[in-house]
Structure 1
Amino acid sequence: MTKVERRHVLFLNWRDRLHPEGGGSEVYIERMAAEIVARGYRATILCQAHANAPAAETTGDGVHVLRRGGRHTVYLCAAFVYLAGALGFGPLSGRRLGRPDLIVDVCNGLPFLSRVYARRPVITLVHHVHREQWPVIFGPTVARVGWWIESRLAVRCYRSCPYVTVSESTRAELVGLGVDRARISVVYNGTPEVTRRPVARTPHPSLLVLGRLVPHKRVELALRATALLSLELPTLELVVAGQGWWEEPLRRLATDLGVERCVRFTGFVSEDDKDALLGASWLAVTPSLKEGWGLTIVEAAAHGTPSVAFRSAGGVSEAIVDGETGVLVDDEVDFLRAVRRLLRDSDLRTRMGSAARAHARRFTWTVSGDAFADVVSGQLPGTSRPLPDQRVP
């Protein structure tokens, strides 16, 4: 793709990768920002402030990151920063970046509604639709209001904007909400190349849950499965890798189930530690209620580790080739049976692991970056590129 003259793209996202609750969606945003910088754009991510990072910085990939406001006030800060005519103010960021040429408004349940105040082209980015998650996290009143904002207000606000999402399943859900299918581009997650030497699998049966510790990830299902399977596999270990505000209830459940001796909570893990866990585990499990894609599933696949996940959980049904690179299940009983079968059948694990590794190679950040950059260039003044679909070869 031909490079452009330093057009400036602003990403509005409520968190960044370094946030204590950051996850796969934040990784995706930062990688897309880095990919378009590599293609000649400028990119800025505006997200909420937190104690793990400074108010402003530039990443090694050349992406500017501005952190303003808190969990909810970041939405107001985004509008204020735009309307003030500068991204960052001298005393806060040390530089003036000017107004953007284009805004990528990331809707993680709640949209930034930038289309209301911004006089710039807007791309709406949706990882997944939160229909099932609102009542899990909030009470009935807040859940109804949140779902109305996401399913009605946001759809009306962005009715003339192009959309980007990360899976065909999310595209189908957006169409169900009234978004024109022709305006939605699918740009899949990439998978980091495995560069470290392979690590040996654990000598004992091992399961891995990797991700944020929040209720809708349903780590409880992995804990209950571990409690039952440990009766016939006494050396079984479950590693829960990640952090989040739901950790203490999960620890209490492990104690109540009597499996605290075979469950290890790691907290935050570095990239090297994550790679080691993915390579050493016999099986990765993703009991999440909903995922836009399933980044950790494909990351596990890159290490030859098959996964078990729920068929109804959105994008995971595309991240896993059912019966080849892992298993998709319909309920908790099926989940237990699939995990048990894969733990006890080493030949099946090996075959699925090899297929999973080959499947993961089909998803690269370079390919995703090309597709995303095409959507961006098609929305800037003076261009007329059609919205692309990123198809897996």
Structure 2
Amino acid sequence: MRFLMLNWRDPKNPFAGGAERVTEGYLRALRERGHEVHWFAYAFEGGAPHEDLGGLHIHRAGTKLGAVFAAWKWYRRQPRFDLVIDQHHGLPWFAPWWSGVRTVAYIHEVLGPIWFAFYRGFTARFGQWQERRVIRLYRRVPFWTASQSTRRMLEELGVRRIYLIPYGVHTRPLPELDPKPIGQPLRLAVVSRLQPNKRVDQVLRACRCLLDRGVRLELTIVGAGADEPHLQEETDRLGLRPVVRFTGLLPEAEKDAVLRRAHLLLHTSLREGWGLNVIEANAMGTPAVVYPAPGLTESTLHDETGLVSREETPESLADAVASLLTDDARYQRLRRQAWRRAALYHWDAVLPVACDWLERMAAGEPDPQPRPARPVGPTREPA
């Protein structure tokens, strides 16, 4: 079969993030099953018009604003595809109206208020308005997403057919859970693109709250992005320079080592499709403390695999973190349950489910339901 993914960025784009990581995972799995897989994205400086990434055929053309027209022009010269996947990031590709074949809309999150994290005034309001209108336009197109919160938002906008398939992560759960009592200095971690919608500045303010309460801590921030200069300034303004370390982007093994050493992952995003880094931390035996934001309340189950703060404020986040410092038994329970649950979200468990479903969609089945994933991972707990 021939599959086409339409996504604004490809894996080599300098601004590629979690969406591109999971997209690449699905497409590589399809390729390993013998299918022909193509990925169209907008062009960027230094990116070749065509590139083969280990069997993935990458095509780049057009600008952010002109990519849809460029995709249509390129598509007209291609042999027929069996399935086109139209990935939404605030704006879609409108492929159901020009591809001529079965199309699936793939969406991580309805951006909603995230528009206001990147734009101001009329531009943000218009972005939010058009997103809602466009999703309504797609209401008869089958949608693929990963979280119940996104599913509910799509249903509110009139979408009729929504298929839920969880995300997968490459991080394989530890074969044995390390002994790691909670204590001071408290080791905290953030793993994120450093963008305004991730609200990492609120993690910094939560750390200031904890320090003011006499908690000794250290914070490691893994990631890069446009918001880093602001975060560096906030670190200095809050007097946190002695306890905060910015690592930039790290290789997977080094990132896993940071997560394995940390007592807690902190996540304060405005909205997430899911929260892949939560599951990555869980696989390393580290629970998360997160804001009660869409997506995060699914990747972290409150008082089961981590904690969800009462409010989306630094003070509330600090309260949740502090509650674990005096209750190691509770912390160990969260660690154990988070580690076990991470086995459900390893790629080896998720990819067969996703690929089976995509093949059935491409074959023309009218309403193929995804099959449940089988856990892969941890076997032994500490003695």
- TM-score normalised by structure 2 residue count: 0.89
Distance 1:51 1:300 in 2: 34
- The aligned residue for residue 306 of structure 1 is 287
Q: CA deviation at 1:365?
A: 2.0
Amino acid in the other structure paired with 1:272 = A
Distance 2:268 2:66 in 1: 31
- Contact 2:349-2:373 within 8 A present in 1 as well: no
Residues 1:21 and 2:2 aligned together: no
- Contact 2:361-2:368 within 8 A present in 1 as well: no
Amino acid in the other structure paired with 1:347 = A
Alpha carbons of structure 1 residues 286 and 195: separation in structure 2 relative to 1, 3 Å:
closer
Amino acid in the other structure paired with 2:97 = V
Residues 1:63 and 2:45 aligned together: no
Residues 1:273 and 2:273 aligned together: no
- The aligned residue for residue 356 of structure 2 is 374
The 5 Å alignment of 1:1-393 reads 7-51=1-45, 54-60=48-54, 62-83=55-76, 85-86=77-78, 98-156=79-137, 158-180=138-160, 183-194=161-172, 204-233=185-214, 235-311=216-292, 313-331=293-311, 332=313, 333-380=315-362, 383-384=364-365, 386-391=367-372
- The aligned residue for residue 378 of structure 2 is none
Distance 1:121 1:317 in 2: 33
- Partner SS, residue 4 of structure 2: strand
Deviations along 1:235-276, one digit per CA (max 9) or x if unpaired, are 411111111111111111111111122111111111111111
- Partner SS, residue 376 of structure 1: helix
- Contact 1:105-1:111 within 8 A present in 2 as well: yes
Amino acid in the other structure paired with 1:68 = A
* Structure 2: gaps spanning 5 or more residues: 375-383
Count of residues paired in the alignment: 369
- Contact 2:174-2:284 within 8 A present in 1 as well: no
Distance 1:350 1:35 in 2: 35
Alpha carbons of structure 1 residues 37 and 392: separation in structure 2 relative to 1, 3 Å:
closer
Q: CA deviation at 1:164?
A: 0.2
- The aligned residue for residue 380 of structure 2 is none
- Contact 2:144-2:164 within 8 A present in 1 as well: yes
Deviations along 1:188-232, one digit per CA (max 9) or x if unpaired, are 011324388988979832111111111110101100011121234
Deviates more, 1:295-304 or 1:330-339: 330-339
- Contact 1:188-1:390 within 8 A present in 2 as well: no
Amino acid in the other structure paired with 1:17 = P
- Contact 2:174-2:283 within 8 A present in 1 as well: no
Distance 2:174 2:361 in 1: 39
Alpha carbons of structure 1 residues 50 and 277: separation in structure 2 relative to 1, 3 Å:
farther
Distance 2:279 2:82 in 1: 33
- Contact 1:101-1:380 within 8 A present in 2 as well: yes
Distance 1:66 1:38 in 2: 20
Amino acid in the other structure paired with 1:342 = L
